[in-house]
Amino acid sequence: MDFDQGRITRIHDFCMDFDSMESRLRSLSQKYPSGVIIPALENDLNNPMLPKIIDGLNECTYIKKVFIALSAANDNDYEKAMKLSNDLEVPSEIIWCNKPEANAILEELRKKGLDVTEARGKGKDLWIAIGIASLELYALAIHDVDIVSYSGMLPTKLLYAIVEPRLDFSFSKGYYARVNFENRKIYGRVYRLFINPLLDALQKKVSYRSPLIRYLQSFRYALSGEVAIYSDLALNLRIPGDWGFEVGMLAELFRNVSDKRICEVDLGFFEHKHKEMSQEALLRTAGDSFITLLRTLTETEGINISEAFLLSLRVIYRRFAQDKVRQYHADAVCNNLDFDRHDEETNVEALSQVIMDAGQRYLKNPISAQLPDWLRTISAMPDVRERLRRATIER
């Protein structure tokens, strides 16, 4: 625990009280209606953490609506999601993001020159959900569906920071310690072993004080997916349509929002469902996040990305990542945590290959995953949000 402040305002949890914060948000709910968006895949519907998340959301009586942004394979998955939502006591709706009727609308949009039909992943589902939710919400919180340590305090902390009129923030982002005390392990590997040392390596590689890299380094946990944002601001942001959503949103905020309007909120000790270091899970997130970083550096600072750049970056990254392994090993020893140093080094090797694999994908198509902001989309099709709402939500 500390009380340090940096470039981005940090809101610590010294003695936050759920009842008083929940009561305050409830009193503001008429003027500033707020809600929650939760992206989910069909296999998340069997997630044992869902009942705990539903119980936590039911504590938040100030919430106007919960939107589940669902990517479902068929009608059965959608019906299963509908049954789960019946346990929510706060208003809720299931947005079937890849429903055929929704895809037909996106095909119309493609014919108007905005093609989002090729995008696949969390970013696209959230893009659709943000557009629909913005029709009725002033502020919205976004978080994942696999949070083991969930309580109603999580969305409350995030939303309170931007809804409370005595403050002046338009975006809040959670930060936390990814430590599991049951098996006594440190997680958060993509951030600890990839994003964090990668930013150090990029800073060294570009040979000047990069404004974007310094900005991203000012966040305590840049890869956290727990955020809250004004709806109007969300409509102005381009986001990646893949699994690089978290870094992509920070990159867009860097381009559009003053640091004074951004804050980080202490979410304490935090545990997600554990994922494997595989191409279908963490390595995919790492790769898509790296591509977003390269794209943004090219856009904002004119960096020339080449194969030679990637090769030298990989070498620099490995050195910084190995230093991080040594530092986290010291943390683990002093806290009597289970820490497999060989496994950590093996993960670094796998993540270093991401620099080459994802880098090559970027060189072939540097803009493929970028979605248009909603203001441009509405300009191309003024009623697109309303049509998507009718197409994706059964009433």
Which residues is 208 bridged to in the sheet?
none
- Domain of 123 in residue numbering reads as 9-392
Where does residue 184 fall: left (phi above 0), alpha (psi -120 to 50 degrees), or beta otherwise? left
pLDDT of residue 121: 80
Is residue 1 included in any domain, yes or no? Answer: no
Is residue 4 included in any domain, yes or no? Answer: no
pLDDT surpasses 90 at 340 = yes
- Average pLDDT value for the chain: 93
Asked if 180 contacts 339 with a C-beta cutoff of 8 angstroms, the reply is no
Q: What is the mean pLDDT of residues 289-313?
A: 94
Is residue 110 included in any domain, yes or no? Answer: yes
Instruction: Give the contacts of 357 (CB within 8 A, at least 6 positions apart).
Output: 287
Instruction: Give the contacts of 381 (CB within 8 A, at least 6 positions apart).
Output: 108, 109, 112, 387
Asked if 148 contacts 9 with a C-beta cutoff of 8 angstroms, the reply is no
Higher confidence at residue 129 or residue 121? 129
Rounded to the nearest 10°, the torsion over CA 348, 181, 50, 191 is -20
pLDDT surpasses 80 at 368 = no
What are the DSSP calls for 93-161, one per residue?
EEEETT-HHHHHHHHHHHHTT---TT--SHHHHHHHHHHHHTTT-SEEEE--S-BTT--THHHHHHHHH
Q: Which helix (DSSP H) or strand (DSSP E) does residue 391 occupy?
A: helix 384-392
Q: What is the mean pLDDT of residues 275-286?
A: 74
Is residue 107 included in any domain, yes or no? Answer: yes
- Which pair of tokens denotes residue 17? 């009280």
Is residue 131 included in any domain, yes or no? Answer: yes
pLDDT of residue 73: 83
pLDDT of residue 2: 75
Total domain count for the chain? 1
59-68, 259-268, 317-326, 364-373: range with lowest mean pLDDT:
364-373
Q: How confident is the model at residue 384 (pLDDT cuts 50, 70, 90)?
A: very high
Burial track 71-92 (b if 16+ CB lie within 10 A, e otherwise): bbeeeebbebbbebbeebebeb
Is residue 3 included in any domain, yes or no? Answer: no
Smallest CA-to-CA distance from 80 within 109, 36, 47, 56 is with 47
Q: What is the mean pLDDT of residues 39-56?
A: 91
pLDDT surpasses 80 at 281 = no
CA 346/CA 318 separation, integer angstroms = 11
Is residue 374 included in any domain, yes or no? Answer: yes
CA 387/CA 76 separation, integer angstroms = 23
Degrees to nearest 5, angle at CA 54 with 1 and 132: 100
CATH number, residue 176: 3.90.550.10
- Which pair of tokens denotes residue 172? 């809040």
Kindly report the pTM of this predicted structure.
0.94
List, edge to edge, every strand of the sheet that includes 171-177.
9-11, 262-269, 171-177, 227-230, 139-142, 34-41, 65-71, 92-96
Smallest CA-to-CA distance from 133 within 205, 210, 69 is with 69
pLDDT of residue 207: 83
**What are 111-126's pLDDT values in tens digits?**
999 999 888 788 899 9
Is residue 2 included in any domain, yes or no? Answer: no
Q: What is the mean pLDDT of residues 339-368?
A: 93
